[in-house]
Amino acid sequence: MRIRSILAVTSLLLTTTVIGVTPGAAQSSGNGYFFRPPLVTLSLQGGLGLPRASSDLFTDISERLTINDGDFRGAAVNTALFFNINPRIAIGASLGYSSRTVDSEYRNFVEESATGDLPITQTTRFARTPIMAQAKLYLVPTGQQIGSFAWVPSKLAPYIGAGAGAVHYRFRQEGDFINFADPELSIFSNSIEADGWAPAAQLLGGVDYSLTPRILLSGEAGYTRASRDLPREFEGFEPIDLSSVVATVGISLRF
C-alpha cells in the first residue's frame, strides 16, 4: 500500500510538473485543471429575443395600429443544464423566457371630444417560454486528459446543436377598439387573450470561453420554429407564428 501511495503521489507531481513547464499549452487551454473531466455544466444567460411574427395576426395589427416590424423584440433569459457525455458531446435541457409589451394607437382614426381629437390607445403583450431538450456537438474537445490526475479545459470550444420541446406563449391585447361592424364606428373597451403550448424544434450554435477551469463565458444564438392554432376569439386568423431567434451571453459553471 505504501508503494502504491508513493507511485500515486509521484505520478501527480509529474503531471503537475508537465503542466508547469509547458506554459504555452497551459495558457491555450485555460488556467489550472480538474482532477477528472467535469460531469455537468450549468449556465445562465441573458440577451435579446427576436420573434419572427410573420403570421396574419401580426400583419393585421401592424396595418391598423402603430405597431411596426421589430416592436416585439425584447429581453430574453435562458438557463440550461447539460451532462457531458464525452469531450465532444453534451445532452441536457433548457428553459427560456422572452417578452415585450407595446403601446399603440390607431393609425387612421381618432376619438372626437370636446377638448379635441384623442388617440384610441391599446397595449399588446407577447411572451414566449420555450422548454427544450437539447444535444450539443463541440467542434473541438472541451478539454484534454493528461495522465490519470488532470483534465485541462480548452480555452475556446465552439459548438452546434439541436433541440425539441414545446413553447408556451401568451398574446394579450387590451384597451380601446373600434367596432367596424357599426356604421357609427363606435369605440369600446375590451381585452382579448390567447395562450397555450405548441411543439417546437430548435437549431443553435455557440462558443464556450474558459475563464477558469470551472467558470466559462458562453455565447449562443438559436432559432426556434413553432406555431399554434388560435382560439375561437381569433376566428379567421391562421396559426400564430411563435418562431424566433434568441441571442444570449452569460456565465456557465462546470461541476
Interval 79-89: pLDDT, tens: 999 999 999 99
What pLDDT, on the 0 to 100 scale, is given for residue 125? Answer: 97
What pLDDT, on the 0 to 100 scale, is given for residue 32? Answer: 67
What pLDDT, on the 0 to 100 scale, is given for residue 1? Answer: 38
Residue recorded with cell 411563435: 242
Cβ–Cβ under 8 Å, residues 32 and 212? yes
What pLDDT, on the 0 to 100 scale, is given for residue 208? Answer: 98
* Average pLDDT by stretches of 10, the chain with 255 residues: 38 37 36 80 98 95 93 97 96 98 96 90 98 98 86 95 98 96 94 97 98 95 98 94 98 95
Other CB atoms closer than 10 Å to residue 31's CB: what's the count? 13
Other CB atoms closer than 10 Å to residue 56's CB: what's the count? 13
What pLDDT, on the 0 to 100 scale, is given for residue 229? Answer: 97
Which residue type does 74 have? Answer: G
CATH 1.10.760.10 fits 2-254, yes or no: no
Domain ranges of the chain: 2-254
Buried b (16+ CB within 10 A) or exposed e, 179-211: eeeeeeeebeeeeeebebebebebebebebbbe
Residues 100 and 73: their CA atoms lie apart, in Å, by 7
Residues 47 and 74: their CA atoms lie apart, in Å, by 9
Task: Kindly state the cell numbers that stand for 149.
Answer: 490526475
C-alpha torsion sign, points 151, 36, 139, 88: positive
Q: At 182, give phi and psi (nearest 5°).
A: -95, 125
What pLDDT, on the 0 to 100 scale, is given for residue 216? Answer: 96
Half-sphere exposure (Cβ direction) of 28: Cα atoms closer than 13 Å: 4
